Structure 1
Amino acid sequence: MENLELEILFQDEFFIAVNKPAGMLVHRTNIAFEENVLIAERLLKEQIGQKVYPLHRIDRPTSGVLVFGLSSEAASLVQPLFPTDDVKKYYLTIVRGYMSENHGIIEHPLKKKLCGDLQDAKSEFWSLSQNEIPIASTNRYPTSRYSLLKVYPHTGRMHQIRRHLAHDRHYVIGDSTHGDNRQNHFFRDTFGMEQLLLHAWKFEFIHPITKEAIKVEADLPDYFINISEKLGLILPPKEGEN
């Protein structure tokens, strides 16, 4: 922990964005009292020498863009923008099967915090790449199909992307909570991979103070790149690349 530094993707006098590794919590929670648990908020505070204020959350097993305010005042200016188009979050994920369409919207109500009242929830997806590999992941078919998706959650419900894709039976690979355990075992046994294949790829927002359009992109972790190559899935180019 002493040598760990978060990759800083963007910083000005009001906000800072980092690339959160998978397995790291955003801030202290009821499960944050495990021995040696990594907390992004605490690590970043120590790294830059000042208090930071999380603007949003991403799940512990999810990697990618995480944005903080450098003051409570700055954070309070962005947080009300999340339900609007002034803030957009795009994820990359690998799922089981081929989508029925290249672009679509999943609108399926979800229970708040996995229980309680239903809340409206909307996720938009684009199928970026798909491939069939000559290896059986189940006893049903001799081959296996996978898709790389870009997903934009219009709402911010708990585990929304994972739950929406599971509802459509396109389970996120490596999801031990809402996923397909047969697929997870297949990836562990065949490729030695246990990570959740969900990455907070891009974060775009209208800067509430400068009014600039800010775009932040986080590189994919190595395990995501490696498994994409093994599955024959083509990753999108980085911003500015052809």
Structure 2
Amino acid sequence: MTLIYEDEHLVAIDKPPGLLVHRTQLAAGEELAALQLLRDQLGRTVWPVHRLDRGTSGVLLFALSAEVASQLGALFEQGQMDKRYLALVRGWPVADEGLIDHPLARDPELPSAGQTMLEAQTRYRVLQRMTWPLVTDARFPSTRVALLQAEPLQGRRHQIRRHLKHIAHPILGDATHGKGPLNRAVAAHLGVQRLWLHAQRLTLTHPVSGALLRLEAAPDPGCPLTV
């Protein structure tokens, strides 16, 4: 695993796309997960303190003790961490920047009706607008794509993915919230099948030293998540 920060209290890695954070019953056949790989690499127990979807790449933080894990978990729960993501989406948002203010059901795997709706806001900013030579709709000779920076103000499950779908700009490669024909065309065009969402930066106050930490993971050079 590629380490981007390590001290005696915590460690951060650059998680590759397609890797689980930890083993789950939902992916019982998967033997590899970031938690186990990092534990074996460091030769010590590590505690995950937040989640990244399996398809999402980028900054992933672990604690090196249960006490620090509890402190970091509280920071995430209280929204005291600044999280920035890069997302490649279908279409061009009308505005160059905006705030998506749309409550989300607690469990995205279940119908929303009858569920508690949770406050959720995501800021976004358009970094680049592109036109790709992909035809997935006979009405159009090409496909518009935009690179966004997204900042979720809470940590709801699949928040960025659900919010970008809500404004009709789903993330490319999102099998749940996107369009299958477009996702397949993008995978063929780029030669890579993945969710085009990357955890670019995580800024937080160190739970022990009080220092400001800015953890960053740059996308791979030449990939469409770079400007």
Q: Does 1:50 align with 2:49?
A: no
Question: Is 1:189 the counterpart of 2:188 in the alignment?
Answer: yes
What is the match of residue 121 of structure 2?
Answer: 122
1:68 aligns with one of 62, 66, 77: 62
Looking at structure 1, the residues matched to 79 and 27 of structure 2 have their Cα atoms a distance apart, in angstroms, of 32
SS in 2 for 1:211: coil
Shift of 1:12: 0.8
Which residue identity lines up with residue 99 of structure 1 in the other structure? P
Corresponding residue SS for 1:215: strand
Match for 2:80 among 68, 86, 104? 86
Give the corresponding residue for 2:2: 7
* Residues paired across the two proteins, number: 222
CA distance in 2: counterparts of 1:27 and 1:150, whole angstroms: 26
Question: Which SS does the other structure have where 1:47 is aligned?
Answer: helix
Coordinate RMSD, CA, aligned: 1.7
Q: Is the 8 A contact 1:94 1:146 kept in 2?
A: yes
Q: 1:30 aligns with which of 4, 19, 25?
A: 25
* Alpha-carbon shift at residue 79 of structure 1 (Å): 1.2
Cα deviation, 1:111-168, whole Å, max 9, x if unaligned, reads 1121332211111111111122344332121222111001011111111111110111
- 1:59-103 deviation digits (Å, cap 9, x = unpaired): 011111100010001111121112445311111010011111111
Pick closer, same or farther for the CA change 1:130–1:194 going to 2, 3 Å: same
Q: 1:3 matched to which residue of 2?
A: none
Q: Could you tell me how far apart the structure 1 residues matched to 2:134 and 2:27 are?
A: 39
Q: Secondary structure at the match of 1:45?
A: helix
Q: After superposition, give the CA deviation of every residue in 1:202-222 in whole Å (9 maximum; x if it has no partner).
A: 111011211111011112146
Q: Which amino acid aligns with 1:166?
A: K
Question: Among the aligned pairs, what percent are the same residue?
Answer: 38
Structure 2 unmatched ranges of 5 or more = none
Superposition deviation, residue 27 in structure 1: 1.5
Q: Do the aligned partners of 1:83 and 1:154 also contact (CA within 8 Å) in 2?
A: no
SS of 1:113's equivalent? coil
Task: Give me the whole-angstrom Cα distance separating, in 1, the residues matched to 2:211 and 2:2.
Answer: 23
Equivalent-residue separation in structure 1 for 2:14 and 2:190 (angstroms): 25
Task: Kindly state the Cα deviation for residue 190 of structure 1 after the two structures are TM-superposed.
Answer: 3.1
1:102 aligned partner: 96
Q: Distance in 2 between matches of 1:27 and 1:180?
A: 28
Question: What TM-score do you get using the length of structure 1 for normalisation?
Answer: 0.86
* Partner SS, residue 73 of structure 2: helix
Q: What TM-score, normalized by structure 2, do the two folds share?
A: 0.92
Q: Name the SS for the 2:107 alignment partner.
A: helix
